[in-house]
Structure 1
Amino acid sequence: MSDVLIPRRDLDFLLGDWLCLDELLRTPKFAAHTREDVAAVLDLSERVAADLFLPAYKAADQIEPTLGADGVKVIPQIADAVSGYADLGLFAAGFDEALGGMALPSLVCTASLAQFMAANLSASAFVMLTTANARLIAAFGTPAQIDSFARPGIAGQATGTMCLSEPQAGSSLADIRTRAEPDGEDGLGRRFRLTGNKMWISGGDHDVTEDIVHLVLAKVPGADGQLVDGTSGISLFIVPKRLPSGERNDVSVAGLNHKMGYRGIPNCLLNLGERGGATGWLVGEVGQGLPIMFQMMNEARINVGLGAAAVAYRGYRHALRYAGERLQGRALDAPKGQPSAPVPIIEHADVKRMLLAQKVYAEGSLALIFYCARLVDQEGDADAAELLGLLTPVAKTWPSEWGLVANDLAIQVHGGYGYTRDFDVEQLYRDNRLNPIHEGTTGIQALDLLGRKTLKSNGRGYALLRERIDATILKADQIERLDGYGELLADAWDHIAVVVEGLRPLDAAASLENATPFLSAFGHAVLGWLWLDQAVVAANLGDDAFHRGKLWACRFFFETELPKVEFWLDFVDSHSDVASAAPADIF
């Protein structure tokens, strides 16, 4: 197995020791599975990721997708990797048996996908998008739509996309202009003809699978033939690359976007309706496109966080191995006047600092995403759903931002070798740099957290989160090695509560102008809780190097990272307008 993927011991700790996988497997929904089943899936995932996905990693970066007369082509190794994944039935892992799936917990599927993302992020994007696409159709589509468009994705016979953004709209979906004109009805539902353009579509065209199922947001014109402004008129449509008859739909590639990283999956500008209109079938009701699409968008946000965590983790593993092998410099406490040999750079304090930072960012990111996956598995639990909604913008953003810092530090540990193409860490950094933008930028996630999830909410999510945090603090207070950490964490969350109350009387613009520093503080406070919670478990399991590593990481986070929360919150609480009031002409 590759030593740069995620070690099974880490997965076993997170899933089994910390997140109580055995309890999950005793619930009626997952009772058919055993720990042996889970181990088999994780073993298979590690092996296939190492054998099929990892070897294509550098080649996919060096040989980008190409656009020709017959469409977009990717390197054969990417197609082979995705095909091998499908042949093993892994696309179906998280789907119910009635849909041909294995009905595995989301927690297990997420741990499996993490290995593939660590091995090859862009190849894994085909998987991530396809499963989220099929899950949406399975949830909201008609039986005929499920059979025709979800089942092929679940089987890995077709891939899927999400087509939201447009060249003129970017993230402002209220401004999309793609039109959907009614075109009758057939066995697949209400049929429409779509015309318009979709930008930044990952997997928008390729030769990995013969068919691609696009989920397209578009607006149905009103009685006057005009499109309604805003989001209320947005509807969702299934627009396949190939129609049920086998002929090509009216979807064409106008161009490819050439990215700094993440190059193995093509990123396309799609034109719909160059020959009269692309055929699409309505999902749900007219005007309900955005609420329905949020299922896939939220799943994608969490999976973007997972990818960022996995890439950060792989960079950390590279840096850890290099630091143990690279001989450079002498010990500062070597006897004076006596010759001393060079030492591995892992012996130097500053290198240890960088490795500890990578450890808390990468392992902390994985813990956050796995915790969210555990909440997904509590289907029907209103509290779990509320908590998941609150944590989703953090799950997308914290790994994307701090995982990137981890990759930056991995380059630094490598020194001059780190920024050369001979070492993977420079590509890992480039790949991860896209994630703070994917599926809603950091600023957009900040507005979601502070606006919709905090100031406009009933506070239920916060109350649930604080209950869990207080329970962790209570347990930590009983452990001598964690003495004092609980008080620091409680102070951080009390400070958050004070700042939120101070923002409530302000108007919308003033209350949100420093949303991003608020997200930074909130995210770090969440990770402080998760590190303390893991440390409680580790402290009760043993005193070997692995478990001591968890406690040391917790200490590092509380000494070097948690203090940042106070700085960010003080700035938010100052209600500073230094950014919002800055005139455009000063720049």
Structure 2
Amino acid sequence: MSEYLIAREELDFLLWDWLDLAGDCGDAVDRESADAILDLSARLAADAFLPHYKTADRVEPFQDGTGVHALPEIGAALREYAELGLFAASFPPELGGLGLPSLLANASFAQFLAANVSTAAYVMLTTANARLLATFGSPAQITQFALPQIEGRWFGTMCLSEPQAGSNLGDVATRAVADGADALGDRYRLTGNKMWISGGDHDLSENIVHLVLAKVAEPGRATEEGTKGLSLFVVPKFLPTGARNDVAVAGLNHKMGYRGTTNCLLNFGEGEGALGWIIGTPGQGLPQMFKMMNEARIGVALGAAALGYRGYRHALAYARERRQGRPSGAGAGPSRPILAHPDVRDMLLTAKCYAEGALALVLYCAKLVDRAEQDAEAATLLALLTPIAKTWASEYGLAVNDIAIQVHGGYGYTRDFDVEQLWRDNRLNPIHEGTTGIQALDLAGRKLRDGAGLAILRTRIAETIARAEAGAALTGHAEALDLCWRRIADAVGTLRDAGSQGMASNATALLRAFGHGVVGWQWLDRALLCTDAPEDPFRGGKLWACRYFFEREMPRIDAWLRPIEAGSDIGAAVPAEFL
């Protein structure tokens, strides 16, 4: 089964040939060490994460009088992961980390997401939690709460949503009341309810560190409403004294996929109030939390890409083995593998374009993470591409899993084959960490507002186009890409001038056109590395996939842009009673 995870040849091509990992490693790691890390990741994912993939789907977490319990194999796998230092992979040595570039760390982690996304989710949440604390916490808070997570002994969560407050965090009702100070900083008592908390409680680690958004309540003074009043608090399940904090599990949510990841409704402060320490100063909660949310969005995108990639590999293997049908007019005789049928090849080419395109897009963003702290241009481009990566990988990774079921036929709809579970697991990804609609508003309303990110992106696209035009093989694709981006840029201007109603009606269409345009650019960019080996199955496959994307996928952009160009406002104009 391990052959269905991320192909090593794919990772090597992306990391070394396309994204120049060697240029980002510096003194942190050499090629031999990087290869060893990738080899280790593939083995551990196959040996410790993959074996309980279906078991964790069948044996869901449960709650009894002693607490919340998850499948023991999950804890065993995560302990092996921690013992090898992989929780610490992307953290600097001064925090006990391995100091790996984000690009290499994400390539390593992709194997675990492909093998068992619900087990790997605990890692993603924990590392994002620890990174936020390492960025904004005090030295004492880092020592107390971040370092045990970097070691993999404690796990972390992010507690934003509430039963009445999902995407609109201004409606958060959890309150924090000052309760003195100690060596960990200003102390508060929190009361409120948090919903949809992945990893919110379990018996897999020594402790759980919650990062909780709440509003500071002061006696005799009205609590500031909206997002400006939000502050961020670190609230552990067990206090430094060893005592249990006032955090209770009110219930578990039962999900369609990701079933091995506990998902909880948490009550903070059923008694005297949950004890927590403010991170930084009051009112800075949302900017701080965006550090974790943006990392989580890239993580969600990587998980969606990995699940899609594994689905594609399953479908391709099945199509090579499953015999069904004969050539037209052949009459009697042996049936042939379904891979011989043009319709099946069409589906597999679509799946290949989506799966490999999504993985490449997310790893490209991981490379930008490595450069963002020292390179303002990379930081601006990363901000622009984060909603693109999160959405495109989530939607089209899921589309790959849908295609994989179709290739399997009726077998794919049964639990005997992995592809139905891969689809269920991936169906969450277009929803959590910001739905497609939320990402579209972020792109159209924020990331494209001043045009800086778009200008940087178009410069990079123009460089690819110029390289493609210098040779004969891909000139047609270069011309098509240039025309496409001229039109997308015009649509951005049209939407910017359309007012809030026009933008809200067409932001998602712009996001979809933009995403396909970015992926088309990256397919052409990678294809340029393969023109000297068109007969090689791997590199020649990239050329065929690029051609397919430009012939069959890029024309979709026209349909998404037409309503924007026409000024359609149907989404806002239709009366509610007519729906």
The one-letter amino acid paired with 1:318 is H
Matched residue SS, 2:228: coil
For 1:168, what is the secondary structure of its paired residue?
coil
Q: 2:347 aligned to 348, 354, 366, which one?
A: 354
Question: Which of residues 407, 418, 423 in structure 2 aligns to 1:429?
Answer: 423
Residue matched to 1:207: 203
Task: Please show how residues 231-380 of structure 1 align to structure 2 within 5 Å.
Answer: 231-332=227-328, 334=330, 339-378=332-371, 379-380=373-374
| Matched AA of 1:516 | T
Q: How far does residue 333 in structure 1 lie from its aligned partner after superposition?
A: 6.4
Partner of 1:559: 551
More divergent stretch after superposition (299-308 vs 478-487):
478-487
Shift of 1:511: 2.3
Q: Post-superposition shift, 1:507?
A: 2.1
Give 1:503 deviation, angstroms: 2.2
Deviant stretches of 4+, over 4 Å: none
63, 66, 69: which is aligned to 2:65?
69
- Take 2:76 and 2:250, find their aligned partners in 1: how far apart are those partners? 26
Q: 1:354 corresponds to which letter in structure 2?
A: M
Q: Is the 8 A contact 2:38 2:107 kept in 1?
A: yes
2:442 alignment partner in structure 1 = 448
Matching residue within 386, 393, 396 for 2:387: 393
Within the candidate set 129, 139, 143, 2:139 is matched to 143
> Is 1:118 aligned with 2:114?
yes
TM-score, normalised to structure 2, is 0.98
The correspondence for 1:522, drawn from 506, 514, 521, is 514
The one-letter code of the counterpart of 1:367 is A
2:501 maps to what in 1?
A: 509
Q: What's the CA shift string for 1:154-194, capped at 9, x where partnerless? A: 00000000000000011110100000101111000010000
For structure 1, which segment, 41-50 or 576-585, has the greater mean C-alpha deviation from structure 2 after superposition? 576-585
Once residues 394 and 308 of structure 2 are traced to their aligned partners in structure 1, the CA distance between those partners, rounded to angstroms, is 9
| TM-aligned CA deviation for residue 510 of structure 1 | 2.2
Write the letter of the residue equivalent to 1:468. R
Q: Distance in 2 between matches of 1:540 and 1:65?
A: 52
Tell me the CA shift for residue 369 of structure 1.
Answer: 0.4
* Farther off after superposition, 222-231 or 404-413: 222-231
**Structure 2 residue aligned with 1:500, among 492, 510, 526?**
492
Q: CA deviation at 1:437?
A: 0.4
Point out where structure 2 has 5 or more consecutive residues left out of the alignment.
none
Q: Percent identity?
A: 61
Q: Does 2:217 match 1:216? A: no
Moved more, 527-536 or 538-547: 538-547
2:12 is aligned to: 12
The corresponding residue for 1:47 is 43
122-131 vs 470-479, which moves further? 470-479
Partner residue in 1 for 2:409: 415
Q: How does 1:159-170 map to 2 (within 5 A)?
A: 159-170=155-166
- So what's the TM-score if we normalise by structure 1? 0.97
Write the distance in 1 (CA, Å) between the matches of 2:166 and 2:460.
Answer: 37
- For these two proteins, the number of residue pairs brought into alignment is 578
- Residues 479 and 536, structure 1, Cα contact 8 Å, conserved in 2: no
Query: Where does residue 473 of structure 2 map in the other structure?
Result: 481
What is the CA–CA distance in structure 2 between the aligned matches of 1:511 and 1:446, rounded to whole Å?
Answer: 10
Query: What one-letter code is carried by the residue in structure 2 that aligns with 1:231?
Result: T
Contact 1:222 1:228 in 2 (8 A): no
SS in 2 for 1:480: coil
67-76 or 416-425: which moved more?
67-76
- The one-character-per-residue Cα deviations of 1:99-155 (angstroms, maximum 9, x if unpaired) are 111100000000011000000000000000000100010011000000000000000
- Match of 2:367, as an amino acid? R
Aligned to 1:405: 399
2:81 match: secondary structure: helix
Aligned match of 1:461 = 453
Distance 1:32 1:88 in 2: 17
Shift of 1:574: 1.6
Displacement of 1:572 in angstroms is 1.7
Cα distance in 2 between the residues matched to 1:445 and 1:580:
18
Could you say what secondary structure the match of 1:153 adopts? helix
Whole-angstrom distance in 2 between the partners of 1:256 and 1:189: 32
In the alignment, what sits opposite 2:539? 547
The one-character-per-residue Cα deviations of 1:282-333 (angstroms, maximum 9, x if unpaired) are 1111000000110100000011000000000001111011000000001226
Query: What is the CA distance between 1:542 and its match in structure 2?
Result: 6.1
> Does structure 1 conserve the Cα–Cα contact (< 8 Å) formed by 2:380 and 2:452?
yes
Q: Identify unmatched segments of 5+ residues in structure 1.
A: none
One-letter identity of the residue aligned with 2:578 = I
Read off the aligned partner of 1:505 and give its amino acid letter: D
- Choose the corresponding residue for 1:107, options 103, 113, 124: 103
Report what 1:471 is aligned to: 463
Partner SS for 2:530: helix
What pairs up with 1:76-95 in 2 under 5 angstroms?
A: 76-95=72-91
CA distance in 2, matches of 1:203, 1:224: 36
- Superposition CA RMSD, Å: 1.1
Q: Tell me the residue number matched to 1:133.
A: 129
Aligned to 1:538: 530
Distance 1:464-1:291 versus aligned 2 partners, 3 A rule: same
Please give the alpha-carbon distance, in whole angstroms, between the structure 2 residues aligned to 1:442 and 1:238: 29
Q: Secondary structure at the match of 2:191?
A: strand
* 1:274 aligned counterpart, secondary structure: coil
Query: Distance in 2 between the 1:253 and 1:210 partners?
Result: 17
CA contact (8 A) 2:501 2:572 kept: no
Shift, 1:402, TM fit: 0.8
Shift of 1:576: 1.2
Contact 1:198 1:270 in 2 (8 A): yes
User: Cα distance, 1:24 vs. partner?
Assistant: 1.6
User: How far apart, in 2, do the equivalents of 1:9 and 1:465 lie?
Assistant: 28
2: CA distance between counterparts of 1:505 and 1:122? 43
Structure 1: distance between partners of 2:323 and 2:101: 44
Q: Match for 1:561: what amino acid?
A: E
Tell me the secondary structure at the aligned position of residue 571 of structure 2. Answer: coil
Q: Report the Cα offset of residue 223 of structure 1.
A: 5.4
Q: Aligned pair 1:187/2:183, yes or no?
A: yes
